[in-house]
Amino acid sequence: MTFNYNAEALGVHQAALVLAATNCQITTQMIYLSAYVTYENAWSEDFEPEFEVEEGQNVDLPLRWSSTVWLTTKGGGMDMMAMMGMGGGEKTWAPHTDSDAYELITPQLQAKKGDVLRFYADISSGWLNLFYKCEGDADWTYQNTYITADSIYFIAPISGIYQLKFTGSSVSVDDFVGFLKPLDWAILKEGDEYAAQNADVIEHFKDKKVNVRYNRVLSATQQSDGTWIPRAYTVTLPYDFDFTEYNEVDQAYIFRMRFKEEYYKQFIFLPDNNPTLMQAGRAYLVLVMKGQLNLSATNVTLSDTVVDDEQNVVNSFKDWFFEDKLTPVGKWKGTYQSISDVEADTRNIYGMRDDGSWARFQSGEGAEQHNLAAFRGYFEADVSSQSPASMRAAALPGTYKTMMEKLNQQSTNAGENGTNEEMDYEGDIPFTASAPSGIQPTIRTIDANGTSRYFDLQGRMLNGKPDKGIYIENGKKIVK
């Protein structure tokens, strides 16, 4: 008999063998089979002491285990599997307890959703309670109670950093294998003030397996009646981000820019070919339908490379669909670093505003000054950077709506053809209501010669210092 399963797929694989009777004198039998697959470098623990210990003595628990009066001793006689004729041998070192008033807690271990931690429980006349807790949880979650000796498989319900807790009576646990030792943490932070720190982190951990903690959260907008208004963001991450758990429950979708439709003034986004993975270095438009997404990740490889041959944006969806014309007009790109207004102007970069429209960055006298924030996506138009700014702006006039083809949803404030008002777009800019999304305001209130300038809350320069009201002076909001 052969039990075939995918050896590349981690977790428990199960099957059943049915022995059918050929006459009424024999009862049909069913035998359950299972195969367990874990990481090649999986964490394991068998509690064997490093040095020889005198008979009858206890040993300390291994590093990072903790307990209240679970004693680690060497059992006498044969283990349960050996007594049942199922292999095994002389009992080895294992922590045990005779009272459910005590607890045993594992070290921190990391796992992805569906990963398995296997261990053996020797239960002579009592029981074993199993609890788990993920990093950040305040309380333990009860998993199960076991009353017979057996191999136990704990399957991670979500991706995260775990600890398991055991309580029980007349029970011991041993032979742990599965999950992984926690990796180093790479900490990324939002804001231009963290640009140098983020660059150092990426350089230090590039090409290494790490856990990433990134404090940017993508969320839909919840209304007073509990319903959600979808919200769109541009995202470029220096690591692969598993989108499966969000995609499977229709909580969020990922898109990439494909077309610039000049007639309707639209940037058209289509669903990505792989809806369950945001690849490192690639730019995405993320649409959050409900709840929120945490962009932190575990067991990923950090990359310092933004994909430089990014998605070509072509001139027209209509021309491609009906006439098979594919004329590149620019590229959909991402960045790990913020981009200044001067550089963005020179490169003909467009950013997304908080109304869902896209506008070209401007620099120079009289222009609203903004930086494109790090870890975002943008459109770079294919127009000569050698021409004057006024000529470049004239080559691509006006603003463009955001159109997501799969959902037939588009921004509404950039033209009369908008159809979906129940949409929000990232762009919490304090100085102007329609600044590009994810763009950090850097309004210049003091000229190089020391002359002060004053602005209203919409970012418009005032003729002089107001006698009363609310205005911006030297980057600060002033109320008179």
For residue range 49-91, list pLDDT tens digits in order.
877 777 778 889 998 999 999 999 887 544 444 444 444 455 6
Tokens standing for 339?
Answer: 């981009």
- Please compute the mean of the pLDDT values over residues 306-333 and round it to a whole number: 75
Report the range out of 41-50, 78-87, 323-332 with the highest average pLDDT. Answer: 41-50
Q: Which two tokens stand for residue 328?
A: 């590149």
pLDDT of residue 82: 46
Nearest to 436 by CA among 344, 326, 347, 318: 344
Q: What pLDDT is recorded for position 459?
A: 52
Residues 6+ apart with CB under 8 A from 261: 267, 268, 316, 317, 318, 403
User: Do 74 and 95 form a contact (C-beta atoms < 8 A)?
Assistant: no
Looking at residue 357, its pLDDT comes to: 79
pLDDT over 70 (residue 327)? yes
What pLDDT is recorded for position 386? 41
Q: Are strands 209-214 and 217-219 parallel, antiparallel or unpaired?
A: unpaired
**What is the band of 22 on the pLDDT scale with cuts at 50, 70, 90?**
low
CA distance 357 to 335: 20
- 100 is written with which tokens? 């459910």
Q: Per-residue pLDDT tens for 453-474?
A: 676 655 556 777 888 777 667 6
For tokens 């575990």, the residue is: 298
pLDDT band for position 344 (50/70/90)?
confident
CB neighbourhood size of 132 (10 A): 19
> Residues 35-59: what's their mean pLDDT?
81
**Chain-wide mean pLDDT for the chain?**
78
- Give per-residue pLDDT as tens, 166-225: 999 999 999 999 999 888 999 999 988 999 999 999 999 999 999 999 999 999 988 888
Check residue 168 and give its pLDDT.
95
Q: Which of 87-101, 114-128, 367-381, 418-432 has the lowest mean pLDDT?
A: 418-432
Q: With cut-offs at 50, 70 and 90, classify the pLDDT of residue 314.
A: confident
Three-class secondary structure assignment of 390-448? HHHHHHCCCCEEEEECCCCEECCCCCCCCCCCCCEECCCCCCCCCCECCEEECCCCECC
Sequence length of the chain is 480
Task: Give 139's DSSP letter.
Answer: S
Phi-psi region of 462 (alpha: psi -120 to 50; beta: other; left: phi over 0): beta
Q: In 3D, which of 238, 258, 231 has the Cα closest to residue 375?
A: 238
Q: Tell me the average pLDDT across 150-169.
A: 93
Say if residues 336 and 186 touch (Cβ distance below 8 Å). no
Q: What is the per-residue burial (b if ≥16 Cβ within 10 Å, else e) of 259-286?
A: bbbbeebbbbbbbbeebebbebbbbbbb
| pLDDT at position 401 | 80
The model's pLDDT over 253-295, given as tens digits with 9 standing for 90+, comes to 999 988 887 777 888 888 888 989 999 999 999 999 999 999 9
Can you tell me whether residue 214 is helix, strand or coil? strand
Positive or negative torsion for Cα 81, 84, 87, 92: positive
pLDDT tens by residue, 383-424:
654 444 444 444 444 577 887 766 555 554 433 333 445 667
